[in-house]
Amino acid sequence: MLIGDAPTIAARSPTYEELFERHAGRLHRLCGLLLADRDESREVVQDVFLKLHQARRQPGPPCDWAAWLTRVAVNACRDRRRAGWWWRFRRQSDRVEDVTLTSKEPTPEEAAISKETWHRIWAAFRGLSDRQRDVFVLRHLEGWPTDAVASTLGLTPGSVKRHLFRAIRHLRTAAVGDSA
Amino acid sequence: MSRCLSDAALISLLAGDGTADERAHMTACAACGDRHRRVGSELTTVRHVLLATDPPRTRVVARTRSWAIAAVAASLVVTLAVWGHVAIRGPDAPGPAARQRADHEASVLLTEFSLPMFSTDGRLAASVPDVGVLSLSADALDRVADCEWPDWAATAGCDETAHVARLLDLFEAPDTEL
């Protein structure tokens, strides 16, 4: 859970290097999931940390930098998606391999997942609408509460729940396979 | 709450939302508890795949093929549109009907110009070409040799037809006659 650690952050304002080391990998993974493009996600993360650098120099910085960084990254990804047909063309035609992930070592659980299931889940995730993908990533992968997701995406909590239900139903079908 | 929970309610409970009644029912109902655990397990698998594995690399080929198909289809549509435009409107050069119409208009125009030119007494010589220029024999041409202006009416053997024929000869061969 990344939201709610405000008291810890407020005790001592972290340096830029500390924030980068703590959140760069997470933001790379988050933007990679939202954009499905490694180059685009790298550019977005660079922009996010540039904004972090500027925000730290302004008066009244946010007390929860983790939530601030995530919100800025999500909004930057949404801006990229709205950038026009050229971005959509790149997103649909560029390579999608080598997304930076949290772990490279195959765990027993990972080894237990069949290649077919793995392929189905990724295909289902890419088949989600932008809104469903945003909601699922923030709610289930980032662990944000429903109200925070709604506030960040400009939705109502009820709309967030509906998008989340549709996304999970789609992904569950992929996870279970034809036997569902 | 006696009825079993819906999938939406189970997902809401998994996300930490849900009502107290729904939580109580899930605790009491074995079937809903099993469904809750099964959905949780599936979501754990999904979360693990998305967070800890690389995405597949088979998308480039499929997308490239789709774009190639779209490009070929677009070029076919353009080709058909151009072909249809030409087939419907026809080429820029006039067809046989247009050429005939143009020839008729030119003929009418020339006739309108030529009739006043060959008028002898203020009247339009509408029948001049049919008077007999082409049908005059050599004897008739000799006979009308003197049928010129202004004494043709008093000349023996001269009539209006011979007079007009003579005038036509003068117009057609000005170099030799004048």
Q: Give the per-residue pLDDT at A92.
A: 58
ipTM over 0.95: no
Are the Cβ atoms of B12 and A121 closer than 8 angstroms?
no
Q: Is A176 on the interface with B (CB under 8 A)?
A: yes
Q: Is B123 on the interface with A (CB under 8 A)?
A: no
Q: Give the per-residue pLDDT at A136.
A: 93
Mean pLDDT, residues A39-67 taken together: 86
Q: Give the per-residue pLDDT at A180.
A: 43
Quote the tokens at residue A75. 């909004």
**Among chain A residues, CA nearest to B18:** A161
Split at pLDDT 50, 70, 90, the class of A96 is very low
Does the bond joining B56 to the residue before it have cis omega, within 30 degrees of 0? no
Nearest 10 degrees: Cα torsion A13, A19, A23, A24: 160
Split at pLDDT 50, 70, 90, the class of B119 is low
Contact A100, A32 (CB under 8 A): yes
Judging contacts by C-beta atoms under 8 Å, the chain B residues touching residue A97 are 54-55, 57
**For tokens 């008077």, what's the residue?**
B131
Percentage, residues of chain B above pLDDT 70: 62
Contact B30, B21 (CB under 8 A): no
Q: Is A25 on the interface with B (CB under 8 A)?
A: no
Higher per-residue pLDDT: A63 or A7: A63
For B56-93, what is each residue's pLDDT tens digit?
765 444 555 677 788 889 999 999 988 888 777 665 66
Question: In chain A, what are the domains?
Answer: 1-100 (no CATH), 107-180 (1.10.10.10)
Q: Is the pLDDT of residue B115 over 90?
A: no
Of the candidate ranges A42-51, A77-86, A157-166, B11-20, the one whose mean pLDDT is the lowest: A77-86
Q: Is the pLDDT of residue B107 over 60?
A: yes
Split at pLDDT 50, 70, 90, the class of A15 is confident
Q: Give the per-residue pLDDT at B105.
A: 86
Q: Is the pLDDT of residue B177 over 50?
A: no
Of the candidate ranges A1-10, A38-47, B49-58, the one whose mean pLDDT is the lowest: A1-10
Mean pLDDT, residues A75-100 taken together: 65
A76 vs A82: CA distance, rounded Å:
10
Q: Is B15 on the interface with A (CB under 8 A)?
A: yes
Residue type, A75: N
For A104-133, what is each residue's pLDDT tens digit?
555 565 566 778 888 889 889 988 999 999
Does the bond joining B150 to the residue before it have cis omega, within 30 degrees of 0? yes
**For tokens 């789609």, what's the residue?**
A170
Distance (Å) from the alpha carbon of A1 to chain B's nearest alpha carbon: 13
> Best of A171, A173, A176, A179 to disrupt the B interface by mutation (most B CBs within 10 Å)?
A171
Are the Cβ atoms of A146 and B49 closer than 8 angstroms?
no
H-type alpha helices, A36-114: 38-57, 65-81, 85-93, 108-112
Contact A171, B49 (CB under 8 A): no
Quote the tokens at residue B124. 């339009």
For B122-169, what is each residue's pLDDT tens digit?
565 555 455 444 555 566 556 555 666 566 666 666 777 777 777 777
Q: Is the pLDDT of residue A100 over 50?
A: no
Higher per-residue pLDDT: B99 or A51: A51
Q: Give the per-residue pLDDT at B93.
A: 60
Mean pLDDT, residues A169-176 taken together: 87
Length of chain B equals 178
Are the Cβ atoms of A164 and B59 closer than 8 angstroms?
no
Q: Is B101 on the interface with A (CB under 8 A)?
A: no
Q: Is the pLDDT of residue B43 over 50?
A: yes
Judging contacts by C-beta atoms under 8 Å, the chain B residues touching residue A118 are 49, 53, 56
Are the Cβ atoms of B15 and A101 closer than 8 angstroms?
no
Higher per-residue pLDDT: A136 or B57: A136
Are the Cβ atoms of A126 and B59 closer than 8 angstroms?
yes
**Interchain CB contacts (distance < 8 Å): A and B:** 95
**Among chain A residues, CA nearest to B52:** A103
